[in-house]
A and B are shown apart, each in its own frame.
Chain A
Amino acid sequence: MGQKLGRQSFRFNKPPVIAAAANIVGPMEGEGPLAAQFDWILDDILFGEPTWERAESKMLRESAKLALRKINWQPREIDFFLAGDLLDQIISANFAARGLEVPFLGLFGACSTFSEAIMVGSMLIDGGFAARVLVASGSHHNTVERQFRFPIEQGVQRPPYAQWTVTGSGALALADQGEGPVVTMGTAGKVVDLGISDPNNMGAAMAPAAADTLISHFQDTGTAPEDYDLILTGDLGTVGSEALKELMRMRGYLLEGNYRDCGMLIYDLARQDVHAGGSGCGCSSVVFTGSILNQLREGRCRKVLLASTGALLSPTSSQQGETIPGIAHAVVVEG
């Protein structure tokens, strides 16, 4: 059984093992700097389906199945499937689970869903409620644009601080034993809102939540930024990352050479037309299950603090003038 640390954090007594991981990305992500780290790069953004929504769900399902195939697990051997996405009523995750016949818990943490799923999955395993848990989260650029912003073919100019929703899905298989990187600690985030209301500036809306979770994590666990080889936020982009560094500096924590943001890693910001970087449920899931996990396995990196970040807005709340609350959940993965 795990141990609660401070107000929001916990240490796993028997750290769950990341037995396998898999990811699928869209064509644009496949042209980015991390292309070699992805399992499956789609050349068709519809993934052979009639709608973008179905394509998103298929990515989630196929990435989960691919993770299982890598270690020869059958769906019937899985105790829980935890997944989420950005669409209304998390249809992509629900529909992906429909075909798997596995006990399913749908999660919504907007783009923080991936670390939320790893955290909850690890709790289930360390708490003795499961031996094998499958987690996944994904997003599709076109489904998210049409739900939250404008139709794809609409001729609009995106502001220079807007972010580009990642098309992709990443899945992890967690186990109570075996070989591989382990999840050692977690910190559940609080909902934080510093009054940003521009839905194009989500990095700025989420940065205060990321700062809150990271600082709580350091305080609760008695660690410091320099204890980690890599501190990784989900999708703050250039604006949110700068804001996070400044918020942390004001509280006496310096994020320097070991800090990265998945949204800035996944695309070549100078060459690809993504403005402030990537975002979406798929952003941290494909970056983590690809490049970061490879670094952990190869020993190039030993201790990673992953804090996926979510902007908890809806089109209705934005139109009604509500500000955008943010959330970030952190997990520590050690190689």
Chain B
Amino acid sequence: MNEKTGSSEQQLEMAEYQELINTVRPRHTYLKNAILAFLVGGSICLIGQFILQIYTVQGLEQQQAQAATSATMVFLGAFLTGIGVYDQIGKYGGAGSIVPITGFANSIVAPAMEARREGFVFGIGARMFTIAGPVLVYGFLISALIGISYFLLR
């Protein structure tokens, strides 16, 4: 039986049950999550800034130093995923460790690590972007839309 075709009595029962669940379900600890996300996300950015400084001091151009920093952060995210640390950071950091580029690396390496047992083609190749894929697709879409808007409005 589908709730969409259910009687109004059933829908009432479902609404009452949802209400009951809302009272017994533990709350998300939003404040704690926000503070931890700020601290973890901030720390990751601080490390990135530190690496950027080093590259700049070593004589890289601003743009080159930024690209090199991104590459280094991606490597760190991937490496920490590989040795089983990044999921622990993510457990506490939440959005703070998902949003930075290290989180992007994590979301590609984590499924790839699991899928290696299904082989290189249908395993790693096909599944690597199951989590990061949507980010890429909509990232490309939005950048194309902005590019077109810029071209038209310029």
Listed in ascending order, the chain A residues whose CB lies under 8 Å from chain B are: 50-51, 146, 150-161, 193-196, 201, 204, 208, 238-239, 242-243, 246-247, 276, 323
Contact = CB atoms under 8 A, between A and B. Distances in A.
A154 B87 CA distance: 5
Contacts of B21: 196, 201, 204, 239, 243
A154 B24 contact: no
A160 B3 contact: no
A154 B90 contact: yes
Contact of B1 (A152, A156, A193, A201): A193
A208 B91 CA distance: 31
A246 B8 CA distance: 22
A153 B83 CA distance: 9
Given A157-B90, A195-B17, A204-B21, A151 B26 contact: no
A50 B18 CA distance: 42
Nearest to A54: B117
B69 interface: no
A161 B113 CA distance: 27
Interface residues of B, number: 38
B26 A155 contact: no
A204 B25 contact: yes
A51 B118 CA distance: 10
Contacts of A50: 117
B41 to A, nearest CB: 12
Given A161-B25, A195-B18, 6 more contacts: A152-B114, A154-B87, A154-B106, A155-B110, A158-B91, A195-B14
Interface of B: 1, 3, 13-14, 17-18, 20-21, 24-29, 33, 81-82, 84, 86-91, 93-94, 97-98, 103, 106-107, 109-111, 113-114, 117, 131
B106 A155 contact: yes
Given A151-B111, A246-B24, A156 B90 contact: yes
23 contacts: A150-B131, A152-B110, A152-B114, A153-B81, A153-B106, A153-B110, A154-B87, A154-B90, A154-B107, A154-B131, A155-B81, A155-B87, A155-B89, A155-B90, A155-B98, A155-B106, A156-B87, A160-B29, A161-B26, A239-B21, A239-B25, A243-B20, A323-B3
Contacts of A323: 3
Given A146-B114, A204-B21, A153 B26 contact: no
Contacts of A157: 33, 90-91, 94
Nearest to A238: B26
Contacts of B117: 50-51
A155 B20 contact: no
A150 B132 CA distance: 12
A239 B22 CA distance: 10
Contacts of B17: 194-196, 208, 243, 247
Contacts of A239: 21, 24-26
B91 A155 contact: yes
Nearest to A195: B14
Given A151-B113, A153-B87, A155-B87, A194 B13 contact: yes
Contacts of B24: 239, 242-243, 246
Contacts of A195: 3, 14, 17-18
Given A146-B114, A195-B18, A153 B109 contact: yes
4 shortest A-B CB distances, which residue pairs? A155-B90, A195-B14, A153-B110, A151-B110
A153 B84 contact: yes
Nearest to B109: A153
Nearest to B18: A195
Nearest to A242: B24
A151 B33 CA distance: 22
Nearest to A322: B2
Contacts of B18: 194-196
Given A153-B113, A157-B94, A246 B20 contact: yes
B91 A151 contact: no
Of A153, A195, A238, chain B has the most CB atoms within 10 Å of the CB of A153
B60 to A, nearest CB: 29
